[in-house]
Chains A and B, each alone.
Chain A
Amino acid sequence: MRRYVIIGSGAAGIAASEAIRNHDASGEILLITDDPHGYYSRPGLAYYLTGEIDERMLFPFSEQDFRRLNLRRITAQVARIHPEAHRIEMHTGAQLPYDRLLIATGAAAVRADVPGSDLAGVVKLDSLEDTRHILNLIRRARSAVVVGGGITALELVEGMRARNLRTHYFLRGDRYWSNVLDAAESKIVEHRLQEEGVQIHYNTELAEILGKNGRVAGVRTKDGRLIECQIVAIAIGVQPRKQLAQTSDLKVDKGILVDQYMRTSHEDIFAAGDVAQVYDPLSGKSVVDSLWGPARDQGSAAGLNMAGITTPYSRLAPFNVTRLAHLTTTIIGTVNKGRDDDLLGIARGDSETWRNLPDAIAAQANFDVNSLRLLLGKQHLLGAVVMGDQTLSRPLTRIVIERVDITPIREQILQPGAPLGDLVADFWSQLHKS
């Protein structure tokens, strides 16, 4: 009987458990997590914060679902892996054997490096425990400052506003998420935030968090402004939690390096999800994503390979559907380049690939809050950003991911004022007729 150990109970760990159990009815599966709440929807935390769902909804699996998988679950911290001995060592010193091991420890929020970061009231949105903590603080707070970029920063901003806090959002530059969105898209998001009552401070950097009796009382900006607040929320990116692999001499770079079978530099140890750095056949590079879909797919592939079913993981053009200032937004493929000073590295709900745009031509159509941007290569659509009306997001996702030859409409798309939406829609329907 094979003994599988999975470290991490996020989407990747759960998907791996399912894949293993589907092919190995008798193997022993042990799921170890250091999160006392086990498996829950991390993206769902944003909606718990706004009050759109209550806490019990965060847990996708019932006890019955877990029983069906016949898993043993424990809450514990793994201190070290001994690859040659096929054992893991817990923080308590106890050792457990494994035949196949999966590291699916995810990513953790990067801490801000400013004076006052240790004050009570400085928060991040990384876990259920964090969210509970924020909700507790909100009860006694009047105003909040949010610092950072990407999706998580906006989730914090929207959460604070939904709970009626005066909300200040600091941007280091002159616009939001500058290396994924373009100027028009950033403007749409910022405008909507302002309409909701969020005060955006452009070109503003946090210098110091000020405290009173150990609690946040305000912030000082680098240009000397003082803003009163009781909460400072930081979302400046996440780091893959690769320490366990590092101390166990597995090959790491930005994340834990894996081959196309999700295998690390040690034959019987696999990695998947936000912690894994995966080979991308499109760019020829190894990349990290922090996306639910790929985490689940990687977990499934890892699980199958652990169970002896050789299955390569093919990384596709990454995409995410998210809500930016209450506007559903789909980001597909590669859409921009450069750096965003509000983020260090990658954020949650983010992909490195989005910022790998080679020379490409952009075509854009805006109508009110709806916006569509297409990034065109010579024959293919390299990426797309669909904001607001999502009618085209499904066809565009397929066109980008399946690398559909768009030569028949390329010239028309590039005409000034071209009806992009109609062109794509017609192209898509023709494609499906033939």
Chain B
Amino acid sequence: MNIRGLFRAEQTRRKALVQGYVVPDTSRCVQCGICSYNCPINIDVRRHAWLGEPVRDSHCLTCGECVARCPRGVLRFESTNLFQTQN
């Protein structure tokens, strides 16, 4: 298996556009604010990164602006997969 097969970054991204949310990795974040600055609907993504909380805001468009613009790779999409039981 190669890297592409393993991480399927692009596939995950596209999936996340329809059924995902943005998850921060707090240890990478320096609170620069680029994520919040670029959110088209003014979600304070940075606050989520400080608290280590996924962006579960139902208004989130999962447009990927924050994920793409973060200079430190803090944010990633994670699938919510509605058809799996979540603990």
**A residues at B contact (CB < 8 Å):** 11, 41-44, 46-47, 52-54, 57-60, 292-293, 319, 321-323, 328, 330, 390-394, 397, 421-422, 425-426, 428-429
Query: Which of A41, A58, A392 is B3 in contact with, Cβ under 8 Å?
Result: A392
Q: Which one, A53, A319, A330, A425, contacts B7 given CB within 8 A?
A: A425
Check if B34 is an interface residue, CB within 8 A of chain A: yes
The complex places the Cα of A397 from the Cα of B74 at a distance, in Å, of 13
A422: which B residues are within 8 A, CB to CB? 1-3
Contact at A53–B6, with CB atoms within 8 Å?
Answer: no
Q: Contacts A47-B33, A392-B3 given; 7 further ones with Cβ under 8 A?
A: A41-B32, A52-B34, A292-B31, A321-B28, A323-B72, A390-B73, A422-B1
Inter-chain contact A425/B31, CB cutoff 8 Å: no
The answer to whether B31 and A60 have CB atoms under 8 Å apart is yes
CB distance from A389 to the nearest CB of B (A): 8
The answer to whether B32 touches A47 (Cβ under 8 A) is: yes
**A57, B37: Cβ atoms closer than 8 Å:** yes
Asked whether A425 lies within 8 Å of B6 as measured between CB atoms, the reply is yes
Given contacts A392-B3, A425-B6, contact A41 B73 (CB under 8 A): no
**Docked CA distance A43–B28 (Å):** 12
Residue of chain A at shortest CB distance from B36:
A57
Q: Is B87 an interface residue (CB 8 A)?
A: no
B47 interface residue per 8 A CB criterion = yes
Residues of A within 8 A of B6 (CB): 425-426, 428-429
Residues of B within 8 A of A60 (CB): 31, 33, 46-47, 50
A205 to chain B, nearest CB (A): 31
Please count how many residues in chain B sit with their CB below 8 Å of the partner chain's CB atoms. 24
Considering the chains assembled together, what is the distance between the CA atoms of A328 and B34 in angstroms?
A: 15
**Of the residues A53, A330, A429, contact of B32 by C-beta under 8 Å:** A53
CB-CB under 8 A from B50, the residues of chain A are 60
| Pick from B29, B37, B73: contact of A53, CB under 8 Å | B37
Task: Give chain B residues whose Cβ lies under 8 Å from the Cβ of A46.
Answer: 32
B3 touches A425 (CB 8 A): yes
User: Across the interface, which residues of A come within 8 angstroms of B31, CB to CB?
Assistant: 11, 41, 43-44, 60, 292
Instruction: Kindly state the separation between the CA atoms of A54 and B28 in the bound complex, as whole angstroms.
Output: 21
- For the complex formed, measure the closest distance between the CB of B2 and the CB atoms of chain A, giving whole angstroms: 5
Interface presence of B40 (CB below 8 A): no
Q: Complex Cα distance A222/B22, Å?
A: 52
Q: Given A53-B37, A321-B73 in contact, is the A43-B32 Cβ separation under 8 Å?
A: yes
Residues on A with C-beta less than 8 A from B65 are none
Known: A328-B71, A328-B73, A393-B73. A44 touches B2 (CB 8 A): no
| Contact present for A293 and B27 (CB under 8 Å) | yes
> In the complex, are the beta carbons of A394 and B25 less than 8 A apart?
yes
**Residue contact A47 to B71, C-beta cutoff 8 Å:** yes
Alpha-carbon distance A53/B32, docked complex (angstroms): 9
What are 17 sample pairs from A and B whose C-beta atoms fall under 8 A apart?
A43-B31, A44-B30, A44-B32, A47-B71, A52-B37, A57-B34, A292-B29, A292-B30, A293-B28, A323-B71, A328-B73, A390-B73, A391-B9, A392-B3, A422-B2, A425-B1, A429-B1
Give the contacts of B1-59 with A (CB-CB under 8 A). 1-3, 6-7, 9, 25, 27-34, 36-37, 46-47, 50
Tell me the complex Cα distance, A43–B70, Å.
Answer: 13
Which residues of A sit under 8 angstroms from B33, Cβ to Cβ? 41, 44, 47, 53, 57-60
Indicate with 1 or 0, residue by residue over B69-80, a CB within 8 angstroms of chain A CB atoms. Answer: 001111000000
Specify which chain B residues have a CB less than 8 angstroms from the CB of A397 in the assembled complex.
27
